Amino acid sequence: MDRRQLLQMGALLGALPLASPSNAATKVAEPLTALSLTEAARRLRAREVTSVALTRAYLDRIAIYNPKLNALITVMTESALAQASALDREAQKGAFRGPLHGVPIILKDNIDTAGTRTTAASEVFDERVPTEDAFVAAKLKAAGAVILAKANMHEFAMGHTSATSYFGPVRNPWALDRTPAGSSGGCGAAVISDLCAAAVGTDTGGSVRMPAAYCSMVGLKPTYGLVSIRGIVPLVYSIDHCGPMTHTVEDAALLLNSMVGYDADDVASLARPPEDYVRSLRETRVADLRLGIPRAPYFDRLDPEIAGAMEAAIGVLRSLTRSTRDVQLPPVPLSASALSAETELYHRPYLAHDARGYSLSIRRGLEGEQKALDDVADAPCADKVGDYIQASWDLTLARRRIDAAFTDFDLVALPTMRLPPPTINEALAREETPQPREPEIDNNCRFFDVFGIPAISVPCGFTRGGLPIGLMIAGPRFSEGRVLALAHAYEQATTWSQRRPALSADMTVPPIIRRG
């Protein structure tokens, strides 16, 4: 059997329902915590359930499963219940703040919350308590969301496994020895485990969509500047995004509605006419969309099982859209590393004050950047400054030109990740042992951060071992409505998003092996 036949067989298998393995059960029978964000919001507005009852249900579930998953750093029990109680009193009077009124959500722990510590999963910020909410946190509170907890993550968002954290690695609920990806790994693990109705993460190189793919849920990275990043601990400000992480595509649209908004104090923020993304999702005619499949380089070196699942997914998309054909996107002019001076400049004072507070792998990377920038008279440093200026120009031009690539097609579809999730111990071994940095061949997400265009990951299958596979759909700037519409149509045409990992209170947690 040749490679083409293997792929065709994989595509056929990927389109069939999987027999339920021990770690891929159907929805957990939880009357409240299993609700989607949209359904929870509906029931709260209809006063069929109270925010306090819903919040308590999540807190009870967190108490059982978070010790196994390590998805959350700070659980805001008292403030969440107080907020829920206040929102219930408002609801009794018919005063609803917004569509999320009373719905418990979590935030990645690099998003500032006034009066609650925000650590970015680092010892350096272990006692850091912001005095103001991040702009997006304030927006969500104004819409009525209950902030339930702060999620674990890869330290300072400087990695894509969530294995390196001062608070210990995040575990993938589908296989506790595997990573959930990163850096928003805690958000992904919490959402798919029904520890919250939804989560908000950040994405600089794929950190919303990678956990979505590895945890079998939905992660949306909006257009750069659509959601303010003020009050979020930065990684690379020129590329940082903030986006929703949810059970369903409609949930992502609903959450996005309460996250967008112009922020005059954020240099990245863009003023846009208001758009109802839930309405756009419902009213966009998916059958009129022309879909492109960018084979190279996004399908290169695919795991065979992921390749099979992707061909099956493309078959479904072909039946939903007007046309589907192979296309080519323009080359990406740079990577986030070309703008790493932004990262180093933010961390310089913290390195000077408490270098040992950083984990070994993070400190090595930052100190290497600092050494390159220490002396402006030094030729390598001059080269570095020149590289940064050129990268900034290239980034601006790439974002101006990317829309032109979508002339003959409206959206593109491709694998979110090219390889299945590694084990936590494999990830730690790579991160903690000094070695040349390997090319990230597993990640298709980072290209779209550079372009700054909207991209969503939705579940599209599982490996034979029960590990999730993600499908990414992307479009030109400000095409969130179309991206959401096609993703929703695919979600409705398949059953992948209905699956939940089989969790139990007596799950055995595999040991962590550290070598660094």
Catalytic position from the list 207, 228, 340, 457:
207
Q: Is residue 195 part of a domain?
A: yes
**Does some domain include residue 181?**
yes
Let me know if residue 507 belongs to a domain: no
Does some domain include residue 106?
yes
Does residue 183 carry a catalytic annotation? yes
Query: What is the model's pLDDT at position 337?
Result: 64
Please list, in sequence order, all residues whose beta carbon lies within 8 angstroms of the beta carbon of residue 261, skipping any fewer than 6 positions away. 135, 139, 228
**d(C-alpha 82, C-alpha 147), whole Å:** 11
Closest CA to 454 of 186, 105, 219: 219
What pLDDT score does 75 carry? 98
Q: What is the value of pTM for the model shown?
A: 0.92
Closest residue by Cα to residue 91 from 81, 99, 102: 102
Supply the pLDDT for residue 388.
Answer: 85
Task: Indicate which residue of 51, 122, 183, 184 is catalytic.
Answer: 183
The answer to whether 358 and 122 have CB atoms below 8 angstroms apart is: yes
pLDDT attached to residue 226: 98
- Which residue among 108, 139, 150, 221 is the active-site one? 108
Any domain includes 26: no
1 falls within a domain: no
Q: What is the pLDDT of residue 3?
A: 37
Residue 435 lies in a domain: yes
pLDDT value of position 31: 76
Domain range for 315 is 33-498
Distance CA 356, CA 344 (A): 16
Rounded CA separation 461/216 (Å): 8
- Residue pLDDT tens, the chain, 516 long: 433 333 334 433 333 333 333 443 444 345 799 999 999 999 999 999 999 999 999 999 999 999 999 999 999 999 999 999 999 999 999 999 999 999 999 999 999 999 999 999 999 999 999 999 999 999 999 999 999 999 999 999 999 999 999 999 999 999 999 999 999 999 999 999 999 999 999 999 999 999 999 999 999 999 999 999 999 999 999 999 999 999 999 999 999 999 999 999 999 999 999 999 999 999 999 999 999 999 999 999 999 999 999 999 999 999 999 999 999 999 987 765 678 889 999 999 999 999 999 999 999 889 876 665 554 445 555 566 788 888 899 999 999 999 999 999 999 999 999 999 999 999 999 887 755 444 455 789 999 999 999 999 999 999 999 999 999 999 999 999 999 999 999 999 999 999 999 999 999 999 998 765
Residue 21 lies in a domain: no
- Helix, strand, coil percentages for the chain (3-state, nearest 5): 40, 15, 45
Rounded Cα distance between 229 and 267, Å, is 9
Determine the residue type at 410. Answer: D
CATH number, domain with residue 364: 3.90.1300.10
Question: Structurally, how many domains does the chain consist of?
Answer: 1
